Amino acid sequence: MSLINTPFSLKLDTDLKFGFQIVQQELANSIKKAGKKKAFIITDKGLIDSGVVENVTSSLDEAGIDYAVFSDVLPNPPANSVMTGVESFKHEQADMIVALGGGSAMDYAKALAVAATHPGFVLSYSLGGKPIEDILPLLFAIPTTIGTGSEVTIASVITDTDAGRKLVLASPYLIPKSVFVDPSLTLGLPRQHVAATGSDAFVHAVESYVSLPANPFTDALALQAIRMIWDNLPQTYGHDGNLEARAQVHLASTFAGMSFSLGGLGLVHSLSHPMSARYNVPHGLANAILLPHIIEHNLSATPQRYADIARMLDPELHFESVNQAAKALIPLVQEFLQSIDIPDSFGYLDRGFSEEQIEQLAEDAMNDHGTVHNNPKKAVKEDIVKIYQKVLPAMKTAKVYN
């Protein structure tokens, strides 16, 4: 990347705290310093059942800080549920929000912050709609998975259940003001969630490195995140007690989130969002299944960038040409994902997809604002249909593009 022809600007306005037990040590004090009267903790029922929420709120109890816990967050949060949450937020008369959980809790909390302070329906403020103003309640974030990165991003992804698609709210005002990255909160995370969320972070880093808005700052974050996840995710997946590996992946997820928040995402997310919105596929899993196929699609447009990644992962590829090194990334990624038991297609859904369903998914992907236009290689609808046909078990009547 030529620095002479690559101007960029950055604004980083997040107080990031990292460390084991950092939530117990710092959360209550940070709320007191902010001068807030009542925190609205947004989470899900699984984290209540696992004891994570109690682990976090115990420090608030000791400090005499008032709070309310809202645990009705669903995977791939529906827009209508956000409006329901606004009623609870106002009823509790809270003056700040603490997002506690994975990507769904983060997305929900950001969207609620918008809906609680802006008139009308929350999706009116998605990309292309009304602007989000700097009037949001104070927002803190505590990630409990190792993949979303949403704790440091400008985006909130919400499902429009009526249309069967995901929409993105995006604004610098959505970036949480304080973030507590505490690896101890990921202990006990089911292995399949470790695989899905960890590979999600890997996808974030790879996509942001090759995206059109990438810059030297996002490059540094993305490459470091890729290296940390590559070296540590299989250990995190295979060994619950490897705390160092878990800490490495958890921090790498935040690095990847910062990278894509500033540098953008691409076609992997364009195609994964419809799979989550229409068929409830976990976001990280959809991303991981699609990644090798998007790399293959993009290779001709940005071989040097993919070669950079491949050579970092396998130094022997420095002896190969740029194109050969770039191509070698695909089997490297496939082997990596296989090591954490990520399936190579959506065949596990145990259903077939008709021509019309694949066409609809492709249409949704083409309309995924905020991702498709950042991809290094332009894709038309027929390209996207071809990619879907590689990973979706099609019905016998499905049309195949030549």
Domain boundaries, the chain: 15-186, 191-391
Considering only CA atoms, which of 69, 135, 146, 141 is closest in space to residue 107?
Answer: 141
| pLDDT at position 118 over 80 | yes
| pLDDT at position 402 over 80 | no
The SS3 of residue 189 is coil
CA distance 158 to 258: 20
Q: What is the pTM of this model?
A: 0.90
Which amino acid, 266? G
Considering only CA atoms, which of 367, 364, 346 is closest in space to residue 285?
Answer: 346
**CATH node for 15-186:** 3.40.50.1970
Task: Kindly state the average pLDDT of the residues 1-16.
Answer: 67
Task: Tell me the per-residue pLDDT of 40-80, one tens digit each, with 9 for 90 and over.
Answer: 999 999 999 999 999 999 999 999 999 999 999 998 899 99
Between strands 66-70 and 38-42, the pairing is parallel
Q: Give CA 45 to chain center in angstroms.
A: 20
Considering only CA atoms, which of 111, 108, 107 is closest in space to residue 121?
Answer: 111
What integer pLDDT is reported at residue 350 of this predicted model?
87
Q: Give CA 26 to chain center in angstroms.
A: 25
Considering only CA atoms, which of 204, 211, 223, 386 is closest in space to residue 283?
Answer: 204
Task: Tell me the per-residue pLDDT of 250-290, one tens digit each, with 9 for 90 and over.
Answer: 999 999 999 999 999 999 999 999 999 999 999 999 999 99
Considering only CA atoms, which of 260, 91, 101, 83 is closest in space to residue 159?
Answer: 83
Contacts of 395 (CB under 8 A, 6+ apart): 352, 353, 354, 355
| CATH class of segment(s) 191-391 | mainly alpha
Tell me how many helices (H) and strands (E) the chain has. 14, 8
Q: Comparing 128-132, 225-229, 252-256, 397-401, which segment has the lowest mean pLDDT?
A: 397-401
Considering only CA atoms, which of 243, 275, 268 is closest in space to residue 358?
Answer: 275
Burial-class residue 350 by CB neighbours within 10 Å (0-12, 13-18, 19+).
exposed
What integer pLDDT is reported at residue 4 of this predicted model?
55
| pLDDT at position 375 over 80 | yes
Considering only CA atoms, which of 208, 134, 220, 138 is closest in space to residue 179?
Answer: 138
With b for 16 or more beta-carbon neighbours within 10 A and e for fewer, the 129-151 pattern comes to eeebeeebbbbbbbbbbbbbbbb
Name the band, by pLDDT with cuts 50, 70 and 90, for residue 398. Answer: very low
Mean pLDDT, the chain, integer: 93
What integer pLDDT is reported at residue 5 of this predicted model?
66
Task: Tell me the per-residue pLDDT of 135-157, one tens digit each, with 9 for 90 and over.
Answer: 999 999 999 988 888 999 999 99
